[in-house]
Amino acid sequence: MKAKFSVPFNGDLALVKEALSSGRVSEVYFALPGRRSGASDHFVLPGGVDAAYGPLLPALARICAGFGVRTNLLCNAPSLALTPLTGIFAAAKALKVASITLADPLFIDKFRRALPEVALQASVIMNLRSEERVRQMLRAGVGTLTLAAEVNRDLPLLRRIKKLKAEFPGFKVKLMANYYCGYDCVFMNAHYLSGMFGGRGTSAAGGGCFFRGGDAAEGIRRPFIRPEDIGLYVKDRLADEFKLIARYQASSVLRKIYAAYFRGKFGGDLGELLGGKAGDYAKSQMCYMDNSLFPKGFAGKVGACDKNCASCGYCRRVFGRVTAGSRRRNE
């Protein structure tokens, strides 16, 4: 069974057609234009892609319908308390979206009443990282759950969540594959909240993720799923779908990400595929991680460990292995 992917719309309709033609896309996600669209805008600059591609959304809906691929509207700001919802409801109906992704659980019932024919999905921002949190969303009637990225590295938890399908038949698990924020980062929610205010809070505070510790192996601990390791989750039916980010990437960057994950293989710098900053990774990280040098069984190893990093040097050894060529070039 081949993996299926949820991919972003960055304003390039030709890229959407190209991706859908692969047969590997189950869903295209997008946000409405405007700062108060209800979408999480962390890293998205004012006047960015969402504002530019608003007029293209009807065409996007037609293309997806022609391929039999679902559309997903992002309404995943961490709080919707200040968001006017009338326009969002109207747009969802006009575009005939199949689903809406929410991060604010307080608004689940309101969306269900306003849009009874539209399926609801849980955002990664909802931080579903325990069996109990998953149960709560399933009881609320949310049908697709994008789990917290840290769960990518917790195979026992994924197996327990899989067993819940006997109790809640039909729900789907979605994992964010090319995620690159720090493992269990305390700043995640604050960064998403700052996006609700145009990023002003982030800029005023200095922006970055502080207090990470500076360990070189941090890049390995980040909960990405390599293209080669997608098959582990598919084989054991631990995930139904994989989300690729991000919607503000250039088409050239997204095309490289799609090619790698659709093929399940990539021979270059893994950082070029990862996270919201994949397009400028080489400049911002200054560290080449040779994806072909990751050891066999990497995903199973990091997915089963107890995260007691102080007593384990595995990630540090992997980091040394995959960056050895980069260090030699810089000597």
Read off the pLDDT of residues 279-322 as tens digits, 9 standing for 90 and up: 554 445 557 899 999 999 999 999 999 888 888 899 999 999 99
CB of 289 closer than 8 Å to CB of 322: yes
Q: What's at 46, amino acid-wise?
A: P
Q: What angle do CA 118, 123, 125 make, to 5 degrees?
A: 150
From the list 174, 176, 210, the residue with the least C-alpha distance to 191 is 210
* pLDDT recorded at residue 218: 82
* pLDDT recorded at residue 66: 98
Is 85 a residue whose pLDDT tops 80? Answer: yes
Mean pLDDT of the chain: 87
Is 97 a residue whose pLDDT tops 80? Answer: yes
Give 151's Cβ-side CA count (13 Å radius): 28
Preceding peptide of 246 cis, ω within 30°: yes
Is 164 a residue whose pLDDT tops 50? Answer: yes
How many structural domains is the chain composed of? 1
Residue 45's pLDDT band, with cuts at 50, 70 and 90, is very low
Structure pTM?
0.91
DSSP 149-179: GGGGG-HHHHHHHHHGGGTSTT-EEEEETT-
CATH of the domain at 40: 3.20.20.70
Read off the pLDDT of residues 189-246 as tens digits, 9 standing for 90 and up: 777 777 666 555 444 444 555 555 567 778 898 899 999 999 999 999 999 999 999 8
Percent of the chain past pLDDT 90, that is, above it, reads 66
- Range of 142's domain? 5-330
Is 248 a residue whose pLDDT tops 90? Answer: no
Lowest average pLDDT, out of 99-108, 145-154, 178-187, goes to 178-187
Q: Which residues pair with 70 in a beta bridge?
A: 27
From the list 46, 24, 28, the residue with the least C-alpha distance to 37 is 46
* pLDDT recorded at residue 1: 83
Taking the chain, what is the end-to-end CA distance rounded to the nearest angstrom? 45
For the record, the structure tokens of 261 come out as 């994950």
CB of 208 closer than 8 Å to CB of 142: no
CB of 195 closer than 8 Å to CB of 41: yes
Read off the pLDDT of residues 260-273 as tens digits, 9 standing for 90 and up: 999 999 999 998 99
